[in-house]
Amino acid sequence: MKALPIIILFIGGSSFSAIAQEEYIPPPSETLTVVPFSMAAESVILLKAILVGYPDTLTFILDTGSSGISLDSTTASRLELVPEASDINIRGIAGVRKAQFLYNKRLKLNELIVDSLDFHINDYEFLSYVYGTRIDGVIGYSLFSRYILKIDYDVRELAICSQGPIKYPRGGYLLRPFIRTLPVQSARVRDHRKVTSRFLFDIGAGLSLVLSQEFEQDSAVVRKKRKRFPVEAHGVGGKLAMEMTMVRDFRLGPYRFRKVPTMVFEDAFNVTSYPYLGGLIGNQILKRFNVIFNYRQREIYLKPNTLYREPFEYSYSGMELYYIDGTIVIGSIVKDSPAAIAGLKVGDIVLAMDNDTSQDFTQYKKALMTARKWLRLIVRRENELMEVRIRMQSLL
């Protein structure tokens, strides 16, 4: 671009001077489209989109923890799309595998068409089970890198905006993360000790805080006497065993959260590249802010929303529900948890909770996270109907 002149004028020998300066200013950012979204299990963002050339509306997770964009293998097969093999490895929290790609595809979000997309193929069947709805893919860096994205959890809308100067609203805080393809942000954990480390900013993780076992042990950040319970998490590659515990507080910028449920996992596939990262910040924390992602300027703007002061969700039952082929099934049970003590077993089919026979997966998941004294379930085990009462309590 040709440099524009800066003109300085001095008049005579007097002290008066005039300065005329010309500066190129790019056009301001404009909203291109606004996409409504839903929340799976009140923890991750689900968007509807169409793969151009195919009539079906697909459901995608919006995920800052994804370095590209992906499509479910079953969805690709249903659409008769044939991926190409590659030498690229895809690494997730639960495994590493060779990637297959669908090259140069287009995705339609409302009236906005995003072109030149290379989808890698993944198996998201387990996510469909956990979230109770069909997951067709994950949208990550391929969208975040091209546009400024504004997420408003209060009205559940995603505004996709053009690149350009933007004026952030009052009342928030500007983070300046390191971004290559994934955003990395410094934050502070405090429990036995106070430790500052780098964390992946991951809105696609339906958890609060996740620490690698290496970071947790080397930093001695978590009190030794903290309760710990084994749980199952889900990520690229399948299931992953973790320990659930708590930290006294977590600080992101000026924002401080107390008694934060925390997962500790063995990072067998070096996702955190420890000691580069201590772990990740999930959407149980991040959904408490309306967020503006401005990757080109390496900026993330946080403004507390109506969820900011909501209490964190803990597992009061110790069991996980899956939605498989239209049936709500108990998928896992923590040893010595209220669900285990009540006699429930993996594979039991849930027919009702208290007086709710709606088979509403989302409502049943909420009921398991609610502090109450008792929860009554009607389940089917093989050909037998059973009524089971669970004494609910916090595992932490």
pLDDT number for residue 8:
41
pLDDT number for residue 373:
81
**Which of the pair, 258 or 21, is modelled with greater confidence?**
258
- CA end-to-end span of the chain: 60
pLDDT band for position 17 (cuts 50, 70, 90)? low
Proportion of the chain above pLDDT 70, given as a percent: 92
Least confident residue range of 9-18, 72-81, 132-141: 9-18
The label of the residue with tokens 């994205």 reads 149
The domain made up of 174-287 is a member of CATH 2.40.70.10:
yes
pLDDT number for residue 93:
62
Instruction: List the CATH code of the domain at 31-161.
Output: 2.40.70.10
For residue 311, pLDDT over 60 is answered with yes
Q: Sign of torsion, CA 132 133 134 138?
A: negative
For residue 234, pLDDT over 80 is answered with no
pLDDT number for residue 283:
96
For residue 326, pLDDT over 60 is answered with yes
In angstroms, the CA 228 to CA 81 distance is 44
31-161 and 174-287 in the same fold: yes
Q: Where are the domains of the chain?
A: 31-161, 174-287, 319-391
The answer for residues whose C-beta is within 8 angstroms of residue 326's C-beta and 6 or more apart is none
pLDDT band for position 5 (cuts 50, 70, 90)? very low
Which contacts of 82-90 are long-range, i.e. CB under 8 A and separated by 24 or more positions?
83/121, 88/120, 90/120, 90/122, 90/236
Asked if residues 232 and 263 have their Cβ atoms less than 8 Å apart, the reply is no
Instruction: List the CATH code of the domain at 319-391.
Output: 2.30.42.10
The label of the residue with tokens 């983070």 reads 175
pLDDT number for residue 337:
87
- What mean pLDDT value characterizes the chain? 90
Q: What pLDDT digit, counting tens, does each position of 54-104 carry?
A: 999 999 999 999 999 999 999 999 999 999 998 887 776 656 778 899 999
For residue 11, pLDDT over 50 is answered with no
CA distances from 343 to 63, 72, 246, 318, 319 (A): 37, 36, 27, 12, 12
